[in-house]
Structure 1
Amino acid sequence: MVRIDLIAGARPNFMKISPIIDAIREASDAGKGIIDFRLIHTGQHYDKNMSGSFFEQLGIPAPDVNLGAGGGSQAEQTAAIMIGYEKLLMEKNKPDLCLVVGDVTSTMACAITAQKLHVKVAHVEAGIRSGDWTMPEEINRMVTDSITNYFFTTSKVANANLKNSGVGEERIFFVGNTMIDTLLKHRPRFQRPEVWNRLGLEEGKYLVMTLHRPANVDQEEKLRELIQKIVDHTLDLPLVFPVHPRTKKMLQHIGIGHERLHMIDPLGYLEFNYLVERSKAVVTDSGGITEETTVMGIPCMTLRDNTERPETITEGTNELIGTDPKAIPPAMEKLFSGNWKQGQVPERWDGKTASRIVAILLEKLALR
């Protein structure tokens, strides 16, 4: 029997880990090998949407351990997670492997802690790079990958990034995207949110917007101009804007509003993706949403100057239009003229990624 710690620090982490848990159980039921896992929530992010209904809705078991390491500065949070995880490893049975996902602070902190206590590390979503060192996530990715044993990647671009940094090919496994496993599993269960009827929304006749990155929301005038340009160039269509807490604080200062701009509270996973799947297009600065829109075939405009997910552009429906508000009018013109690209689903984004990961852990890595 193999013992594995599964590390999650924020809501998206649980959505990436959920299919891995499903695959572990399926492998056990099929007699392919037993993995005893411990789901660890570092407590990095407090999210009011992380209620029992969130876990129940997506079929995620409640965490076995919560380290309660939320709050504080980047350094304080990193230290709290490392102290909490080190204590857990020293007091309880050490696992054979620490599996981390994505690029949050918890990913980096637990990888460092595990390696210092001689526990091997596997990184799911390894090798993705934006090239932007001003993003804390980019530092987390680079540090984690520098001390990882087994690399599970979402694309061949990520493979190349790792090889270029000196990682041997025998440690790189191109498996696909576990976030898409979750999307495809729950797609038939997307739920119409209350806002659909309240606003009288119609399929293909509204846009969805999300904004939360500092480059877009931390400057009042920049945020005001961005939103105004979007409103001015979306014809007569409603613009549904689930507002991130970071963005909400700034919007209260600038006092922007429009009859077609509908600012609502954040939605649950099933409700949000119901809106995305039926929208005309999505305007965002989120990386994960660009992956989901690519699979759902929805045009996506990303208000960033770089991306760690280039396959959503080269293969998918995403376009990187930058953070300059002047880029919005031509992008909207392209959308409404019917000239937006069709895109395709990237290789191995097929809902079977987690099964590939578990098979590798049980067979190729000889962990049985």
Structure 2
Amino acid sequence: MLIDIIAGARPNFMKIAPIIREIEKSRKEGADLSYRLIHTGQHYDRNMSGSFFEQLGIPDPHYNLGVGSDTQAGQTAKIMTRYEEILFDKPADLCLVVGDVTSTMACAITAKKMHITVAHVEGGIRSGDRRMPEEINRLVTDSITDHFFTTSQTANENLKREGVEESKIHFVGNTMIDTLLGNMDRLIKPGVWDEAGLKEKEYLVMTLHRPSNVDEEEQLKSLISEIISSSKELPVIFPVHPRTRKNLEKLGIEYDSLIYTDPLSYLEFNYLVRHSKAVITDSGGITEETTVMGIPCMTLRDSTERPETCITGTNELLGTDPRAIKPAMEKLFSGKWKEGSIPELWDGRTAKRIVDIFTSF
């Protein structure tokens, strides 16, 4: 069986690394499995792409589609046409897509139109907010997926409600947690630790990148102002996404306790998270990592596709109203934040379950 493994953006790399390792291990044990790693090039910044391959032990891609920056429609078109050329030359038996980025949807559509089986890692997660591009990517991808590798019982129920046969749903856990647990003893102290004189549990980490938070000037200024004013003068470390940096520079947002950094590598960023007092984010994946590490997390979104991080884990959904930040900070500093626990099957063995299913096909 020839499997195409699709990766295009930063979250994808964390999810495919353990799957590749398990495929290679299974091959050594005699399994009839081979793979092609296809990097679409959707993320092209080195700290958001290249360094992940080195740090996570991912082999060089068999193909790099090099789509680079473009509109969502432009990226989708480039990915589809360039992946189609590969499939015309040599079809795969299965196309494995992960997560909810543009590459996920584009390659799933291309493979399915060429009658290739599609499997989706993280199938079934839903935010319920169709204003999010990622939600559209999830819905389109899952509408044509043949096998769903799910992270939670909530995702299973979402798929069943949408009419997916139970035989196609494989509850396996979370491959991103495989990567996190496998690298906890390899985390790297970033340069900002010494430069800013950071101390254990005496700083906050912040990430913002969603258009609803960073593209409207007043919203961005209000969010950051509330975070800084409520943080009791603790340093707030802000690794800045490229789209956010442009807006910050234009607005001239500066505070003594707000420390900007360039995007950090996976091992550096998670070192900061692991030793922080709390994380403030609008990312989905980070809420999974904070849940496993037991770090309080505040999510500046009105909905989440990962409700288990709130129900079971350490995450709380604050919404996008800046006025919600102060009460959450008061709860944090008073020591009343929930402890949380680790969701079912987030145990570091998800990739093995996935590859065992491959060998049974």
User: Which TM-score band applies after superposition, normalised by the shorter structure?
Assistant: over 0.9
Corresponding residue SS for 1:338: coil
1:354 to partner: Cα distance: 0.4
Corresponding residue SS for 2:47: coil
Distance 2:49 2:281 in 1: 25
Q: How does 1:159-174 map to 2 (within 5 A)?
A: 159-174=156-171
Aligned amino acid, residue 110 of structure 1: C
After superposition, give the CA deviation of every residue in 1:236-260 in whole Å (9 maximum; x if it has no partner).
Answer: 2111111111111111122121111
Distance 1:194 1:76 in 2: 36
After superposition, give the CA deviation of every residue in 1:261-294 in whole Å (9 maximum; x if it has no partner).
Answer: 1111111111110010000000000101000000
Kindly tell me the number of residue pairs found equivalent between the two proteins.
361
Q: Which residue number in structure 1 is paired with residue 292 of structure 2?
A: 295
1:50 to partner: Cα distance: 5.1
Q: Which residue number in structure 2 is paired with residue 349 of structure 1?
A: 346
Contact 2:9 2:48 in 1 (8 A): no
Change (3 A) 1:51 1:332: closer
Q: Which residue number in structure 2 is paired with residue 250 of structure 1?
A: 247
Aligned amino acid, residue 22 of structure 2: A
Aligned amino acid, residue 89 of structure 1: L
Contact 1:9 1:42 in 2 (8 A): yes
After superposition, give the CA deviation of every residue in 1:163-190 in whole Å (9 maximum; x if it has no partner).
Answer: 0000000100000000111101111100
Distance 1:267 1:50 in 2: 8
Pair 1:260 & 2:257 matched? yes
2:42 pairs, out of 41, 44, 48, with 44
Q: Which residue number in structure 2 is paired with residue 66 of structure 1?
A: 64
Change (3 A) 1:51 1:175: closer
Q: Which residue number in structure 2 is paired with residue 151 of structure 1?
A: 148
After superposition, give the CA deviation of every residue in 1:83-137 in whole Å (9 maximum; x if it has no partner).
Answer: 111111111x211100000011111111111111111000000000001111111
Corresponding residue SS for 1:236: coil
TM-score, structure 2 normalization: 0.98
1:226 pairs, out of 223, 228, 232, with 223
Pair 1:210 & 2:197 matched? no
Contact 2:9 2:49 in 1 (8 A): no
Pair 1:318 & 2:323 matched? no
Distance 2:138 2:50 in 1: 30
Aligned amino acid, residue 261 of structure 2: I
1:10 to partner: Cα distance: 1.1
Distance 2:52 2:314 in 1: 28
Q: Which residue number in structure 2 is paired with residue 26 of structure 1?
A: 25
Q: Unaligned stretches of 5+ in structure 1?
A: none
Contact 1:11 1:47 in 2 (8 A): no
Distance 2:169 2:22 in 1: 20
Superposed CA RMSD: 1.1
Q: Which residue number in structure 1 is paired with residue 121 of structure 2?
A: 124
Q: Which residue number in structure 2 is paired with residue 133 of structure 1?
A: 130
Give the % identical residues. Answer: 67
Distance 1:18 1:180 in 2: 11
TM-score, structure 1 normalization: 0.96
Contact 1:108 1:144 in 2 (8 A): yes
